[in-house]
Amino acid sequence: MDKILVHGGQSLSGSVRVSGSKNSALPILAACLLTKEPCIIRQVPDLSDVHYMLQILSHLGAEVERASGTVTVRAENIKSVAPYEIVRKMRASVCVLGPLLGREKEATVSLPGGCVIGDRPIDLHLRGFEALGAAVRVECGNVKVFAAKLKGETINLRGKFGSTVLGTDNIMMAAALAEGVTIIEGAAAEPEVVDLANFLNAMGAKIEGAGTRRIVIEGVAELHGAEHSVIPDRIEAGTFMVAAAIAGTRVTLRRVVPDHLKAVSEALIQAGYGIETSRDTLTVVGNGKPKPLELLTEPYPSFPTDMQAQMCALLSEGEGISVITESIFPQRFMHVSELKRMGAQITLEGASAVIKGVERLSGAPVMASDLRASAALVLAGLRASGVTEVNRVYHIDRGYESIDDKLNGLGAQIERVKV
Ligand code: UD1
């Protein structure tokens, strides 16, 4: 198991290329199951979560080829059962349910594992499948969905914590091959949902309204092969933006969609940093320590929950008191106890972290507990005194392509050590 040593105090500058989006690539790869014809997906990031998805597709019978960032999937003959051994490592494996149900009219998928960020149910996905006419059984740790045929319906996917991203993806994929028109109300409007809808439309689906709260899907009899380039990863980009704020003078991100990063940009501007954008680049101009902020995580286009831990790291060193409240995953604060081991002064009050900025964090051995939490610990180490030792690095490799090399390219001093 690797660990990462961050030698703090180096200043970051220069430019870094952002990889393709993990959260787009996973459902888009799953969507390749919807057709017998080959699909070519470009800008697929080299991440362990992507490897798990490719393993799942192979297990289901698809032929998968990968040449650098391009993946070709041929799902000519598939089966519809994904057992625990292959889905347990990643929660996003749940997004094969929609395409399998759409194409085979049945799917059995073990209930997935993944990030330990509180209770993560899939009730809304199942409610959507039922609305399309499928029967749902949950037994022996498996979800089984099956239908004689799927029929379009109006479905409200809004839950207690807002819309569901993978739930919207799953219903869009199943409904693409249903009879008649499906309307998803309370749909997730994240850019990754739009990216999936664009790919499905390239395969011959008829989907309108992706990116809004109301998506209309007119079912078609079959889908065909297509080519697609995955959008840039806005969370990886946001993580580098925060790294630049913590330790940078002037850092430029290449291959980004600045529009997808508005909420993060606004937060950094409010905290005192400069942001410059062009069509596909974004530059963060450093300005020392942040001014205190009040942030609330909410569905897109508001501030993303996937950037909450990194902002905690930024605001831990600074002046005044900041408050970050989680409205999506109220228990997503596992990084807080680790940041406190580095000297951060943070108290948890319900779903809020109250952060009293300190002069400087100090390096310490810390434990990564989920993907974004581990990124936050690496970022915290960038300006901390001494060495920050981040253990359980496999979490970070699930969602960041060579984060150590990319940060070193900007001037950081990070070592990866095999333990
Ligand atoms: C996706 C992202 C993840 C991000 C999250 C929220 C992927 C692979 N992952 O996860 O990085 O943090 O969106 O932006 O795209 N919920 C229910 N019932 C359900 C489904 C969800 O109550 O059936 C709740 C969840 O517990 C959570 C909220 O709805 O409180 C949003 O979750 P959801 O959007 O579904 O997250 P994911 O799609 O799993």
pTM, two decimals, is 0.97
The separation between CA 2 and the C-alpha centre of its own chain, rounded to angstroms, equals 22
> What is the pLDDT, as a whole number, of residue 118?
56
The two domains 2-18+232-418 and 22-229 share their CATH topology (first three levels equal): yes
Q: Ligand 1 center to residue 165 CA distance, Å?
A: 6
With b for 16 or more beta-carbon neighbours within 10 A and e for fewer, the 7-39 pattern comes to bbbbebeeebebbbbbbbbbbbbbbbbbbebbb
The residue contributing the CA closest to ligand 1 atom 21 is 164
Cβ 62 under 6 angstroms from ligand 1: no
Ranges 79-88, 132-141, 174-183, 271-280: which has the least confidence: 79-88
Q: Is the pLDDT of residue 242 over 70?
A: yes
Name the pLDDT band for 309 (thresholds 50, 70, 90).
Answer: very high
Q: Ligand 1 center to residue 331 CA distance, Å?
A: 13
> What is the pLDDT, as a whole number, of residue 119?
62
Top-level CATH class of 2-18+232-418?
Answer: alpha beta
The CA–CA distances, whole Å, from 6 to 160, 180, 240, 412 equal 39, 55, 15, 8
Residue with more model confidence, 81 or 128: 128
Q: Is the pLDDT of residue 349 over 60?
A: yes
> What is the pLDDT, as a whole number, of residue 89?
81
Residue 53: both structure tokens together: 């998805």
> What is the pLDDT, as a whole number, of residue 357?
97
Report the distance separating Cα 224 and Cα 217, nearest Å: 17
Chain mean pLDDT for the chain: 95
Cβ 330 under 6 angstroms from ligand 1: no
The residue contributing the CA closest to ligand 1 atom 9 is 23
Cβ 30 under 6 angstroms from ligand 1: no
Contact 368, 331 (CB under 8 A): no
The residue contributing the CA closest to ligand 1 atom 13 is 165
Q: Is the pLDDT of residue 353 over 80?
A: yes
Name the pLDDT band for 384 (thresholds 50, 70, 90).
Answer: very high
> pLDDT by residue (tens digit) across 98-124?
999 999 999 999 886 554 545 678 999
Q: Stretch 218-235: mean pLDDT, rounded? A: 98
The DSSP letter of residue 161 is T
Cβ 336 under 6 angstroms from ligand 1: no
Name the pLDDT band for 419 (thresholds 50, 70, 90).
Answer: confident
Q: Is the pLDDT of residue 355 over 80?
A: yes
Domain ranges of the chain: 2-18+232-418, 22-229
> What is the pLDDT, as a whole number, of residue 116?
52
Q: Stretch 88-103: mean pLDDT, rounded? A: 92
Q: Ligand 1 center to residue 180 CA distance, Å?
A: 27
Report the distance separating Cα 239 and Cα 248, nearest Å: 13
> What is the pLDDT, as a whole number, of residue 393?
87
Cβ 391 under 6 angstroms from ligand 1: no
Q: Ligand 1 center to residue 355 CA distance, Å?
A: 25
Name the pLDDT band for 92 (thresholds 50, 70, 90).
Answer: confident
Of the chain, the percentage scoring pLDDT greater than 90 comes to 88
Q: Which atom of ligand 1 is nearest to the CA of 235?
A: 11
Q: Is the pLDDT of residue 12 over 70?
A: yes
Catalytic residues: 115
Cβ 94 under 6 angstroms from ligand 1: no
Cβ 268 under 6 angstroms from ligand 1: no
Contact 372, 396 (CB under 8 A): no
Cβ 331 under 6 angstroms from ligand 1: no
Name the pLDDT band for 400 (thresholds 50, 70, 90).
Answer: very high
> pLDDT by residue (tens digit) across 146-171?
999 999 999 999 998 889 999 999 99
The residue contributing the CA closest to ligand 1 atom 26 is 120
> What is the pLDDT, as a whole number, of residue 329?
92
Report the distance separating Cα 117 and Cα 64, nearest Å: 31
Q: Ligand 1 center to residue 122 CA distance, Å?
A: 9
Q: Which fold has domain 22-229?
A: UDP-n-acetylglucosamine1-carboxyvinyl-transferase; Chain (3.65.10)
Report the distance separating Cα 323 and Cα 315, nearest Å: 9
